[in-house]
Amino acid sequence: MQMKKVMLAGFLAAMFLVIAGIFAGMAHAQSITGEAKKIYVDVYVVDSKGNPVPNATVQVLNNLSAVVTSQMTDKNGEVLIVLTSNLTHGAIKVTADGYEGQTISNITLKYNSTAPVYASYLVSLDGNGYIDKAKNIYDEHRTAVIAGGVVIFFLLVLLVLGKGKRIRW
């Protein structure tokens, strides 16, 4: 009788360990699955000399060009973006004051069921500050600048010619 009790206790202990192991495995699988459904996108932003660009705006766009998320780079020019849904034919757009923006197009990032996905991008922004910004404004409005210069030139000519005598309109 004593032996039957020991065997029953051993059997119950073994069953308890098996059931506990099954639940522990399920909990571990759920935590892996939850973590696996994340996409980590690390973006480094540098200038044309390789220096980090702090406070650059990094936007992740979906295939409809709508902003999924937007974050700023830190003092090292880096930002870590965590996506919880797939990105198909999306883009990463980077802008910063004094620099020409850059867009990395046609990006597809999909999570899998076993491990998280990591992606890293290095974005180099062209331009050397506000000089390029002023040049871009001039290029966009060149005709108006030239026309304004011509008008000022003629006004100066009229001023010089009209100094000796009165000009009647």
Domain boundaries, the chain: 1-36, 38-127, 132-161
Q: How do residues 5-26 score in pLDDT, each as one tens digit?
A: 656 555 555 565 556 555 565 5
- The answer on pLDDT for 109 being more than 70 is yes
Residue 31 is predicted with a pLDDT of 45
Q: How do residues 143-166 score in pLDDT, each as one tens digit?
A: 887 888 888 888 888 777 766 666
> CB under 8 Å to 116, separation ≥6 — which residues?
35, 36, 37, 38, 39, 40
Show the tokens assigned to 93.
């757009």
- 115 vs 63, 70, 80, 121, CA distance in Å? 24, 25, 18, 20
Alpha-carbon distance of 81 to 91, in angstroms, equals 13
166 DSSP 8-state letter: P
Alpha-carbon distance of 72 to 58, in angstroms, equals 6
Q: How do residues 30-66 score in pLDDT, each as one tens digit?
A: 444 456 678 888 899 988 888 888 999 999 988 877 8
Residue 5 is predicted with a pLDDT of 63
- The answer on pLDDT for 115 being more than 80 is no
Show the tokens assigned to 113.
């069921």
Share of the chain above pLDDT 90, in %: 11
- The answer on pLDDT for 73 being more than 90 is yes
Element (H, E) at 14: helix 2-36
Q: Does CATH number 3.40.50.800 belong to domain 38-127? A: no
